[in-house]
Amino acid sequence: MNPIRILVVDDSVVMRKVLCEILSEEPEIEVIGTACDGRIALAKIAQLHPDLVTLDVEMPVLNGLETLAEIRKVDRKLPIVMFSTLTERGAGATLDALSLGASDYATKPSNTGSPAAAIAAIQAELIPKIKALCKHPAGKVAMLPAPHAPVQIRRRAHRRIEIVTIGTSTGGPNALAEVLPRIPKDFPVPIVLVQHMPPIFTRLLADRLGSHSAIAIHEGSAGIVLAPGQAWIAPGNFHMTVKKTAAGSRLELNQDPPENSCRPAVDVLFRSVAEVYGESVLAVVMTGMGSDGVVGSQRIRERGGEVIIQDEASSVVWGMPGLVHASGLADAVYPLDQLSQEITRRVVESRSSRAVPNQNQPLHLEQAK
């Protein structure tokens, strides 16, 4: 099989050298060129036709965002991984890049203690993303076998959905920007979610999503009592769970070991929601790399809740939802542009005292109150 051909773009000589050495150690990857600024990068992309570009955010002549915008004018599909610093400015620029069409991002390591640790951190984060975005066999999930038995679509007339929980990773910020702003202001249940991101990023993501949504969206914090019509995103480097108390369901945070190499982890949140809410859970697994969410989806299904997933065609990487599907745990599959409507429909129907409306008829939230 042909290797994945990479163009490395970074204004730092040291970083270009480090990235080239790391990538060249992978037999499935070939570095076909480097560039020190965006203008040179554009010329080399036209000349070399790489399979993927790693793109620094801060560069002279033409910075990463400007370069990305120029690339997307002529090529909407070329995988581009932004390489940014783990700072407020770097996080903000990365979210800007994702909204402009970047496929994913990797963070430059800081405070790792040694060059070897920094290299290991880059390897662990960047290599799997490259393989997943280029649909290399090591990162491809679309080839998984179908479930051994058809998944039963369960419609319980008397089951009320009391919470929605969402898990996503690669491609998630843009996917959430499609879904959450379309949730109506009077949505009758809370939403809790995990987006795999480091600290700072999750807070800025919550702020950005909240500025474009009718519902309030926050970064999760310990002790918060869940309320209808609001959403909470697990903070970077913390697992987020839900606990039942006399005052209502509260958020808790911990720094237990990562699961699926992730903290926050979808599985941790999904399991806690299943324990507190039982059959009254609607879980949504969206675009993302890896297997996080499969074990949690199984727990939700065992407790009687429902799990729906994003389809392959609209996912940047069909890893997380693809594995839920392959495990026979998905009640239904929907394209991204239908997820918000389906989430709202299922919640409203479950809470309506009237006859279940036709799926094609408009739903009104006042029915659910």
User: Looking at residue 46, which CATH number applies to its domain?
Assistant: 3.40.50.2300
Count of domains for the chain: 2
| Active site annotation includes 350 | no
Q: How far is CA 271 from CA 14, 40, 156, 251, 277, in A?
A: 43, 48, 21, 13, 10
Pairwise CA distance, residues 140 & 35, whole Å: 29
For the record, the structure tokens of 152 come out as 């039963």
Q: Which one of the listed residues 37, 104, 136, 196 is annotated catalytic? A: 196
Q: Let me know how long the chain is.
A: 369
- The CATH number of the domain holding residue 177 is 3.40.50.180
Whether 332 and 231 map to the same domain: the answer is yes
Pairwise CA distance, residues 44 & 30, whole Å: 15
Whether 120 and 196 map to the same domain: the answer is no
| Active site annotation includes 103 | no
Task: Let me know: does 104 contact 129? Beta carbons within 8 Å.
Answer: yes
Whether 172 and 99 map to the same domain: the answer is no
Q: How far is CA 33 from CA 42, 125, 302, in A?
A: 12, 21, 50
Whether 123 and 194 map to the same domain: the answer is no
Residue where one domain finishes, among candidates 111, 133, 155: 133
Q: Is the peptide bond before 264 cis (omega within 30 degrees of 0)?
A: yes
Asked, for residue 158, whether it belongs to a domain, the answer is no
Cα atoms in the Cβ-side hemisphere of radius 13 Å centred on 282: 26
| Active site annotation includes 169 | yes
Handedness of CA 214, 318, 205, 266 (dihedral sign): positive
Pairwise CA distance, residues 22 & 202, whole Å: 28
Task: Let me know: does 249 contact 220? Beta carbons within 8 Å.
Answer: no
For the record, the structure tokens of 256 come out as 């237990």
pLDDT per position in the chain (369 positions), as tens?
799 999 999 999 999 999 999 999 999 999 999 999 999 999 999 999 999 999 999 999 999 999 999 999 999 999 999 998 878 888 999 999 999 999 999 988 776 567 888 888 889 999 999 999 997 554 444 434 444 444 454 555 568 999 999 999 999 999 999 999 999 999 999 999 999 999 999 999 999 999 999 999 999 999 999 999 999 999 999 999 999 999 899 999 999 999 999 999 999 999 999 999 999 999 999 999 999 999 999 999 999 999 999 999 999 999 999 999 999 999 999 999 999 999 999 999 998 864 344 443 333 333 333
Q: Which one of the listed residues 51, 56, 84, 169 is annotated catalytic? A: 169
Residue where one domain finishes, among candidates 114, 133, 152: 133
Whether 79 and 180 map to the same domain: the answer is no
Pairwise CA distance, residues 197 & 201, whole Å: 6
Q: Is 118 exposed, middle or buried (0-12, 13-18, 19+ CB in 10 A)?
A: middle
Whether 359 and 275 map to the same domain: the answer is yes
Q: Which one of the listed residues 292, 297, 331, 352 is annotated catalytic? A: 292
Whether 76 and 204 map to the same domain: the answer is no
Whether 183 and 320 map to the same domain: the answer is yes
Whether 169 and 85 map to the same domain: the answer is no
Whether 225 and 353 map to the same domain: the answer is yes
Domain range enclosing 84: 4-133
Asked, for residue 364, whether it belongs to a domain, the answer is yes
Whether 189 and 337 map to the same domain: the answer is yes
Whether 120 and 192 map to the same domain: the answer is no
CA 343 to chain centre: 17
Pairwise CA distance, residues 326 & 142, whole Å: 9
Residue where one domain finishes, among candidates 113, 133, 153: 133
Asked, for residue 155, whether it belongs to a domain, the answer is no
Asked, for residue 147, whether it belongs to a domain, the answer is no
Task: Let me know: does 224 contact 234? Beta carbons within 8 Å.
Answer: no
